Chains A and B, each alone.
Chain A
């Protein structure tokens, strides 16, 4: 809501600049979006008097005008506006002036005729299209006849005012009005404020004889109407138009303008009906009936919902209550009798109706947040009074009241001790009482207990905590002390799972992978890829886009998306890991279970190429090295083994392994299937994904000291030819099992399957290291053990020792 600085000053004696006032409001009440002075940035824009006009000889729409701008000689200005006329007072941008958008106006020629300046439309000096009166929407603006040529136009148009745009939080509906803002400012600046009193002159018949209202008080706790006859529709006086356009409303005519003005001033939305268009003399406030339709003021057609509150006459709905009036009973040029409605509608219905019909109006916004329920009649009376004063209307005697349920003011008890205990302050009773009273609250104190009666207009205050906020903000948050917690000691430690997750990240970073954070919401297709266990998909009910519609069931696809993003930007070497959740859902349940996963993906080279180090494309064994090193870091108890997996549809059938700990599969690794890589538009990529939760839950080895033997080790190398399908794992397992008591380690040092070995065979070579912790090993003992191993390799695996 844009609130006028000048308007505020009419009621409050403030000696502060607009920017300072805005700052104070922001620090004490609600956020301020900006402060705008409409004349800022404009220069040399003055009142002109059109002395004469003649048609341009070479144009069918341009006029050559002689304009008195308060100087000795009139200016000749060429003007193309259709509504230019002799005798008008107009807005003139002089040569050398600056209009909206920082545009400079210079002397020029228009089709050969010299033109010294420009006659302006309101839009040209910064008015929004939304607020320009319809008569001047497509032409120049005509100023009041008494404007003095040569004067700056700004004051005539209210442009020297400052407009403070409040971003009112949902709880502070009271701040959506001048009066509510004045109450808050009165407390902030500790000044008294006197609001206008209504002085209504009634005449004519009793309203009861002309109008009856039938109200469901659950839908409209208050519903009041007045009738004003013989109104003379006309443009509003200038001061009223200025108030409206400065607040962002287009002046329409005096009757409609008055309803908007009263809403701005009191916060009470009003509606003006053309009474003569009612079918009958009865008005009903009810829910819509099945099949009912309504065309609203904006000419929108709405199929009404049985939950919509409508205002209806004997025949049909005539307004969508609290949201927008109907077209059939709208104020028009022919209107002579106005029925003014001032009401309170149940906010939940209004909120839903506004959503349902996509009509978020200023009225609905105020009803949703709650209006001042103690001021409904006053606003109605004030509007009637203005229609009498500004439209010569005859206010009929009395108001019809269909419902009048005004809530009781909230009465809240709070102690001084509680206030200071929560705020951390040392306020005394007088100070607290003064703050609350300055807000217009009644305070009765007994000892240190305060009984506070809160005016109905502050519908956000119900409990002691609400009062604490009022006291804190008016006292000033800057005045609060700055302390740290005292009280009982607590331990701040990470859980073992959290520690392991941190260790995971550090380990993988140490191994050369950058941490990525990808989107967990993805496409259906990607959600289902690289599945490590059976699961149903989980889908958002109303996604924003198909790209983010399903919950991921793998982490790898997010990393592949990242690689694709890099690759499209010519970043070819990418090594990423991500730690995050996947979402598995069982059939028949709504809510998926969440599992922590860790995944990695590498494309291009991991080790950056250098002048002394050639680029080495990532391969299976590099990613395996990372997985091995990571799992070694995590120290899970039990053997880690790798088994070829030829069945994962997204993975290369010959270059994929399951990762098992103690025989349980915890993940997979290998090369992404070339078809999938193509689908992602990426090159050869190696990935792994592990169930991190499983790793967290597994028993771990602990660090322990192992004496380093003082006795020398003996090594023996063994090279053998074996069939292609014999795996390294089989050979190592056999050597370890049969290697004897002194075998310390088995290390593969060569693999060869080139031309020098027979087809279907491969050559493997290992170094076996023997050591005795207690004495120097004898060569014979080693030879014996070594020969035993050789024999078993020949017998069990058909190895041909070389």
Chain B
């Protein structure tokens, strides 16, 4: 048998052994037995000394080729076996992916806060400042500078928590408008502000009344502000808070601090405007009060009503939340039942 034939046979035997090996240990043994220092290939190569110079490189090359083939077969076999082991382990590691995930602690913003933030962000985007004033106010700012002098009949409309004759819990956030108007330098630009915050009324708490609730009042004063701008602004607000399908309509109303004064209605949530019991069959729901700032309010704050004018509006986030989510009891907002607080979490 020539060396070459020996080598060919060796390859055949080797490949068969490799294929037969059944675990990594086997593979290793086969590797040592075939390619080790005492293995048959080494031995064959040792026999090359007896070949003539012409044959030697050919047989050498052939031997190397066979060694490479066997090495490759060994590697392949090892990988196969390793994969089999891994797969077996992974199969063993199978879990029930339908078991619930590990709970995490997660807090949520209050639903009223969400609405206030939404209103703030909208108006910030339109160049308004956000200003918050004191909750304990002077009669002067809460009423008098809002064109509600001491004997004004509309004062009976707002039952007030007084602390002393002149000090009270603010019934609206508009005192901040008076405070800001007094200070604003119109040479630096128009005044565009909203004032969100807590307000207080002397009411008995029940499903539709709360002695504490929230307001966001808005005020714009400049040289050329129109009622059409007010209408457009309220429309943007309604679209932002409720969606583009909601229309806004204005109705005459009365507030001492605006003239003309309007109530704004939006399309009924419940029936989409067709008419239902929620909207008393009108298709509309009253959501806010607004108007063009009364000249007396400007005058009292030292602003010339012949030059400057503008609009004001006041919205109730509590009422918005009640309408938007169908909350049937305003007290829910202040009792902080966790099961209530964690209902308004959808952010997508």
Contact = CB atoms under 8 A, between A and B. Distances in A.
A484 B232 contact: yes
Nearest to B192: A490
B337 A565 contact: yes
A408 to B, nearest CB: 21
Nearest to B133: A594
A264 to B, nearest CB: 21
A146 B182 CA distance: 72
Contacts, number: 260
Contact of A483 (B228, B334, B337): B228
Interface stretch (A98-106, A314-322, A607-615): A607-615
Nearest to B261: A469
Nearest to A600: B107
Given A465-B295, A490-B189, A520-B212, A26 B251 contact: yes
Contacts of B202: 542, 544
B124 A494 contact: yes
Given A466-B259, A514-B338, A519 B295 contact: no
A481 B224 contact: no
Contacts of A583: 135-136
Interface in B106-147: 106-110, 112-113, 117, 120, 123-130, 134-136, 138
Contacts of B336: 514, 516-518, 559, 562, 565-566, 576
Interface stretch (B17-25, B47-55, B159-167, B266-274): B159-167
Interface in A576-633: 576-577, 580-581, 583, 590-592, 594, 606-613
B164 A575 contact: no
Interface stretch (B71-79, B80-88, B97-105): B97-105
A541 interface: yes
A26 B263 CA distance: 11
B227 interface: yes
A172 interface: yes
Given A482-B232, A487-B224, A542-B202, A581 B135 contact: yes
A251 to B, nearest CB: 30
A482 B231 contact: yes
A613 B104 CA distance: 10
Contact of B227 (A28, A423, A520, A542): A423
A594 B136 contact: yes
Interface in A471-507: 472-473, 477-478, 480-495, 498, 502, 505
B200 interface: yes
Contacts of A41: none
A378 to B, nearest CB: 25
Contacts of B108: 509, 514-515
Given A169-B253, A486-B224, A577-B107, A590 B135 contact: no
Nearest to A354: B156
A348 interface: yes
Contact of A540 (B100, B169, B204, B339): B169
B229 A521 contact: no
Interface stretch (A29-37, A59-67, A305-313): A29-37
Contacts of B294: 465
- With most chain A CB atoms within 10 A of its CB, the pick from B125, B127, B192, B260 is B260
A424 B228 contact: yes
B268 to A, nearest CB: 14
A343 to B, nearest CB: 19
B313 interface: no
B154 interface: yes
A53 B194 CA distance: 75
Nearest to B262: A477
Q: How large is the interface on A (under 10, 10 to 19, 20 to 34, 35 or more residues)?
A: 35 or more
Interface in B241-275: 249-254, 259-263
Given A477-B262, A492-B129, A514-B108, A607 B103 contact: yes
A341 interface: no
Nearest to A493: B124
A181 interface: no
Given A465-B295, A541-B163, A581-B135, A498 B130 contact: yes
A524 to B, nearest CB: 14
Given A423-B226, A485-B225, A515 B109 contact: yes
A484 B229 contact: yes
A48 B203 CA distance: 50
Interface string B34-59: 00000000000000000000000000
Interface in A180-199: none
A571 B338 contact: yes
A368 interface: yes
Contacts of B104: 512, 607-608
Contacts of A580: 198
- With most chain A CB atoms within 10 A of its CB, the pick from B189, B192, B261, B335 is B335
B227 A491 contact: no
- With most chain A CB atoms within 10 A of its CB, the pick from B117, B192, B228, B295 is B228
A792 interface: no
Contacts of B232: 482-484
A463 B153 contact: no
Contact of B110 (A516, A519, A543, A544): A516
B341 A482 contact: no
A492 B194 CA distance: 11
Nearest to A425: B228
A544 B337 contact: no
A488 B190 contact: yes
B212 A482 contact: no
A611 B249 CA distance: 54
Given A518-B336, A542-B202, A611 B100 contact: yes
B105 A512 contact: yes
Nearest to B293: A465
A469 B252 contact: yes
Contacts of A491: 127
A485 B338 contact: no
A313 B40 CA distance: 145
A170 B157 contact: yes
Contact of A488 (B99, B103, B189): B189
A468 interface: yes
Q: Which 3 A-B pairs have the closest CB atoms?
A: A424-B228, A512-B105, A424-B226
Interface of A: 23, 26-31, 34, 169-172, 347-348, 351, 355, 368-369, 421-425, 463, 465-466, 468-469, 472-473, 477-478, 480-495, 498, 502, 505, 508-521, 538-545, 548, 551, 559, 562, 565-566, 569, 571, 573-577, 580-581, 583, 590-592, 594, 606-613
Interface of B: 99-110, 112-113, 117, 120, 123-130, 134-136, 138, 151, 153-154, 156-157, 161-164, 166-167, 169, 189-190, 192, 198, 200, 202-204, 211-212, 220, 222-229, 231-233, 235-236, 249-254, 259-263, 280, 282, 292, 294-295, 309, 333-339, 341-342
11 contacts: A171-B254, A422-B227, A463-B259, A465-B294, A540-B161, A540-B163, A541-B162, A551-B136, A576-B336, A591-B163, A607-B104
